[in-house]
Structure 1
Amino acid sequence: MAGSERRILPVTPQPSRHVGSRVVATAPDAVRTITGIRAEVSRQATRVRRESLTFAPADPSRGEPCTAAVMVSVLVAMIYRSGHNLYADVAMGTGAASVMQAQLAVPGLGLTGDVVDTAAGGSERDIRLRLELTDAWPMGEAHRVYVQARRLSGADATTVRLLGAWQR
């Protein structure tokens, strides 16, 4: 074999021969790769993660007691929107015969959440408040959000304590 050269040819894998196989011996496609990267970036950009929030008393001189018969702002936070809903877990001290109501509100945009009632019974009641965020509040924009509460019935001392808040 003098003078003859051995040539090594590239080996391409043979496609699978069973029905339904998705293995195909094709060259890489740059357009498909770029489209896949764009789709992954879009999925990551629209993914909404839980974000914890911190509230402070709305009026330092009043603190957190809530005995008014009308909705008053008890707690306030400046929140930058990054989700679709705001949630707050609130502990309402109702006294022996009092019933309370609470809601989340954004007066700057005219948004209010559903009003949630506590049960009567003389102990602290935990409730969850929810506010659905509309297109009137763009992503990344900051507004003051208030926990508003009132004493619906009874004459006992009633209080509001925030247990946790987040947006999703």
Structure 2
Amino acid sequence: MGRQPYTNWIGTLSQKDSEHIRNSLKLIDIEDIQHKKCYELSDGQLQKVLIGRALAQDTPVVLLDEPTTHLDIYHQAYVLKLLKRLTIQTRKSIVFSTHEINLALQLCDKIILMKKDDVMIGSPFQLMENEAFSRIFPEDLIVFDKSSQSFKIKP
């Protein structure tokens, strides 16, 4: 499906399309599940397939909406590390939305924090230095701990 924008009206894949697909399968390391149906996949496998589909489009920028949704903490970290590796291997920019701020702090090059009437952009270090994380949530329940560089539940 990732090559659909490049095919003819009946979806015929060219040799170039097949090469992009094979390359994406290899980059994501999902060659062993390429013939499975979506309903046969775990949530983590499905997420990898969706990332592979986006890569197969061969665009300079990949946009993903919450790629770690419905995944346990291990697979959330796995997917975000995969995205980080892909930016290096493919030289593509990968932009994604997430609620997993603690993981994003560890793995993202740049973060865009959005709050009503305020947008803050920078590296995790820059945002920490500017106290941006301390202002993102009300302080009654969650606080940013600069020493551990993570959000904590307020005691």
Shorter-normalised TM-score: what interval?
A: under 0.3
Which one has the bigger helix percentage?
2
**Which structure is richer in relative contact order (CA contacts within 8 A, separation 6 or more)?**
1
TM-score by length of 1: 0.21
Q: Which has the larger radius of gyration?
A: 1
Bigger proportion of residues as strand: 1
